[in-house]
Amino acid sequence: MKAVVANTFGPVDQLAVVEWQDPAPAKGEVVIAIAAAGVNFPDGLMVQGLYQLKPDLPFVPGMEAAGTVIAVGEGVSHLKEGDRVLTLCGTGAFAEKVAVSAMRCVPLPAGVPFADACALGVGYSTAHHALKQRATLKEGETFVVLGAAGLTGLAAIQIAKIMGARVIAVASSDEKRELARQNGADEAIGYDNLREDLKSLTGGKGVDVAFDPVGGDAFDALSRSMAWNGRLLVIGFASGRIPELPVNLALVKGYSLVGVFWGTFTAKEPEIYAGNMRELFGWYASGTVKPVVETRQGLSTTAEVLDEVLGRKATGKLVIIPEETQ
């Protein structure tokens, strides 16, 4: 089969499409013919050796894929050949096939396209877990989302509106802010005067829940913009700078800093994660959540797509369609 391989940690342009050994299912595993592979910010970090987890070299990057089960290993009873699934595999998705634990596969309801399934995987699931379990977002609260035009940001907007919040989107251009409004944001602002704008829009009360995948200077502004009993959600650091919190702010303003590490959540609380996915698929079926998805044909586009995601140029979800499935 063809696969995208990282032989060393380094820039994404060092990735190469090569012939790679076909996977076989071990006990408890299935092999999936990949129809769509979702591209996520951590994929680019992992290729560079900058992610929290470093796989052994060489490796096939890509943590999220959707496709059809083509082989079933010993001990797997809940999946069979021909089943359509979404898998959160950690690595291995930028290929034509992947072997993965059957327990890390979510059966896809009829009518969910493979590319949309990838959007509902890491991106929407992260936002859902952040708002539902970590922030316990309540109806009527003010919710601010940074990186609002990215897939996770758009997901957070849509889910926050379902939960009854007032949504303030923060994005870097007029085009991105308009996209945020089209997806349900009540207001959309830029980064230049973030602290002053949030103070004005909240009447000085502050932000009840903030969703921050950006870090850096924007986090510094948020840390001074939180309301009493607020929850500042740490999602990631797309700006490149991991900020430091003056903890006296949490003390005097009475808010909480809440970490959101979705991958560990899925491993430690699989039943809650499964319930979240059922809810997301239900919202998708009803049209309440509508992923913004752009597909790229062929594994040869992987480095280009990763560069776009790392450079924060992407809006919505970028999905690679391997050659074999075209």
Looking at the fold, whether 229 and 311 belong to one and the same domain comes out as no
How many other C-beta atoms lie within 10 A of the C-beta of residue 68? Answer: 17
Looking at the fold, whether 303 and 236 belong to one and the same domain comes out as no
3-class SS at 71?
Answer: strand
How many other C-beta atoms lie within 10 A of the C-beta of residue 286? Answer: 9
pLDDT bracket for residue 266 (50, 70, 90): confident
Q: Among 78-82, 173-177, 274-278, which stretch is predicted with the lowest mean pLDDT?
A: 274-278
Looking at the fold, whether 65 and 151 belong to one and the same domain comes out as no
Looking at the fold, whether 193 and 235 belong to one and the same domain comes out as yes
Looking at the fold, whether 147 and 240 belong to one and the same domain comes out as yes
What does the pLDDT look like over 290-324, one tens digit per residue? 998 988 999 999 999 999 988 877 777 899 999 75
Looking at the fold, whether 217 and 253 belong to one and the same domain comes out as yes
pLDDT at 258 over 90: yes
Which domain CATH number covers 257?
A: 3.40.50.720
DSSP code of residue 33: E
Looking at the fold, whether 26 and 137 belong to one and the same domain comes out as no
Which domain CATH number covers 10?
A: 3.90.180.10
Q: Is residue 122 part of a domain?
A: no
Q: Among 55-69, 167-181, 192-206, 303-317, which stretch is predicted with the lowest mean pLDDT?
A: 303-317
Q: What tokens were used for 320?
A: 């690679």
How many other C-beta atoms lie within 10 A of the C-beta of residue 28? Answer: 13
Q: Which residues of 123-159 are buried (b: 16+ CB within 10 A; e: fewer)?
A: bbbbbbbbbbebbebeeebbbbbbbbbbbbbbbbbbb
Cα separation, 311 vs 304, in Å, equals 11
Q: Is residue 303 part of a domain?
A: yes
Looking at the fold, whether 202 and 236 belong to one and the same domain comes out as yes
Domain that holds residue 222: 127-263
Q: Is residue 120 part of a domain?
A: no
| Residue 33 pLDDT | 97
Can you point out the beta strands (E) in the chain?
A: 2-5, 16-19, 29-38, 64-72, 84-88, 97-101, 105-107, 142-145, 166-170, 187-189, 207-212, 226-234, 256-259, 293-297, 317-321
What percent of the chain is modeled with pLDDT above 70? Answer: 99
Looking at the fold, whether 140 and 238 belong to one and the same domain comes out as yes
Indicate the residue among 217, 242, 263 that finishes a domain: 263
| Residue 325 pLDDT | 45
What does the pLDDT look like over 21-39, one tens digit per residue? 999 999 999 999 999 999 9
Q: Is residue 95 part of a domain?
A: yes
Q: Is residue 221 part of a domain?
A: yes
Strand 187-189 vs strand 105-107: parallel, antiparallel, or unpaired? Answer: unpaired
Can you point out the beta strands (E) in 49-138?
A: 64-72, 84-88, 97-101, 105-107
Cα separation, 151 vs 127, in Å, equals 10
Q: Is residue 117 part of a domain?
A: no
Rg of the Cα atoms in the chain: 20
Task: From residue 35, give the alpha-carbon distance in Å to each of 69, 72, 93, 97, 205.
Answer: 11, 18, 10, 9, 47
Cα separation, 193 vs 215, in Å, equals 16
Q: Is residue 118 part of a domain?
A: no
Contact 36, 115 (CB under 8 A): yes
| Residue 315 pLDDT | 78
Question: Total structural domains in the chain?
Answer: 2
pLDDT bracket for residue 96 (50, 70, 90): very high
What does the pLDDT look like over 128-167, one tens digit per residue? 999 999 999 999 999 999 999 988 999 999 999 999 999 9
Looking at the fold, whether 147 and 39 belong to one and the same domain comes out as no
Indicate the residue among 263, 278, 306 that finishes a domain: 263
In this structure, what is the dihedral angle of CA atoms 230, 222, 244, 63, given to the nearest 10 degrees? 90
| Residue 326 pLDDT | 41
| Residue 282 pLDDT | 93
| Residue 28 pLDDT | 96
pLDDT at 236 over 80: yes
Cα separation, 105 vs 136, in Å, equals 26
| Residue 324 pLDDT | 54
Indicate the residue among 263, 281, 301 that finishes a domain: 263
Looking at the fold, whether 255 and 316 belong to one and the same domain comes out as no
Task: From residue 128, give the alpha-carbon distance in Å to each of 122, 137, 187, 250.
Answer: 10, 10, 21, 24
What does the pLDDT look like over 204-224, one tens digit per residue? 999 999 999 999 999 999 999
Q: Is residue 203 part of a domain?
A: yes
Cα separation, 146 vs 235, in Å, equals 10
